[in-house]
Amino acid sequence: MGYLGIVYPSEPEIRVRLPPPRVTTLIIIINAIVYVLTSFENSLVQVSTSWLYWGAFIPVYLTAPLQLYRLITSMFMHANLFHIFFNMLYLYFFGKSVESVLGGKRYLALYLASGLVAEIFHTAFIPVEGYLSAVTPAVGASGAISGVLGAYLLLFPGSRLTMCFFYLYFPVCLTLNAAAYLIF
């Protein structure tokens, strides 16, 4: 029995004409370019190991000189097509609305700060997870996107979100107010 689900807004949160989500679009484009460049050796199926060890966040490197760039580069790298597709889909669904409220600069600051906080939490859990997690490369925008999703839930608590997933091979969809997701 597996779980594969997706959550998306059921209706527009703001019923006025919004400016195009330039920062969200730029982040998606940068992620796509980085993915193509880092996975080209593997027919675009997954990131190359050499690129992975160059740009991934690896906690033990935090104290090494000239390795802090990994805090940013890791947020723009993805392990495989599935990983980047769903990260960018979530970013598009929720990022455009958050960007419309915060503005481009504050939205970008939220995105980057959320990614950094996720990396700090990843590092803080090394004693719980064991030493192997200190040397295992971490990539992806999931931490940054979690911050954007959290901002969406706070900014649009009355909006309706639909969550669809497969349970015992049958599709199931639930629609709830965004505020209900804050409980979980």
CATH number at residue 76: 1.20.1540.10
Pick the more confident residue, 92 or 136: 92
Residue range 6-16: mean pLDDT, rounded: 59
Looking at residue 16, its pLDDT comes to 59
Whether residue 114 is contained in a domain is answered as yes
SS (H, E, C) the chain: CCCCEEEEECCCCCCCCCCCCHHHHHHHHHHHHHHHHHHHHHCCCECCHHHHHHHCECHHHHHCCCCCCHHHHHHHCCCEHHHHHHHHHHHHHHHHHHHHHHCHHHHHHHHHHHHHHHHHHHHHCHHHHCCHHHHCCECCCHHHHHHHHHHHHHHCCCCEEEEEEEECCEEEEEEEEHHHHHHC
pLDDT at 111 over 80: yes
pLDDT (tens digit per residue) in 16-49: 566 789 999 999 999 999 999 888 777 766 777 8
* Confidence category of residue 3, pLDDT binned at 50, 70, 90: very low
pLDDT tier at 104 (50, 70, 90 boundaries)? very high
Domain annotation covers residue 76: yes
Residue 102 neighbours by CB under 8 Å, 6+ apart = 110, 151
Query: Does some domain include residue 6?
Result: no
Measured CA to CA, the distance from residue 161 to residue 182 in angstroms comes to 12
- Domain-embedded: residue 101: yes
In a domain, 170, yes or no: no
Has residue 37 been placed in a domain? yes
182 pLDDT tier (thresholds 50, 70, 90)? low
Per residue in 58-93, pLDDT (tens digit) is 998 988 889 999 999 999 999 999 999 999 999 998
Structural domain includes residue 95: yes
Q: Is the pLDDT of residue 184 over 60?
A: no
Distance CA 119, CA 164 (A): 28
Tell me the backbone φ, ψ of residue 130, rounded to 5 degrees: 105, 165
User: Is the pLDDT score of 177 beyond 60?
Assistant: yes
- Please, which residues bridge with residue 46 across strands? 80
Give domain status of residue 11, yes or no: no
**Domain hosting residue 83, numbered range:** 18-158
Number of structural domains (the chain) is: 1
What CA–CA distance (Å, rounded) separates 33 from 92? Answer: 16
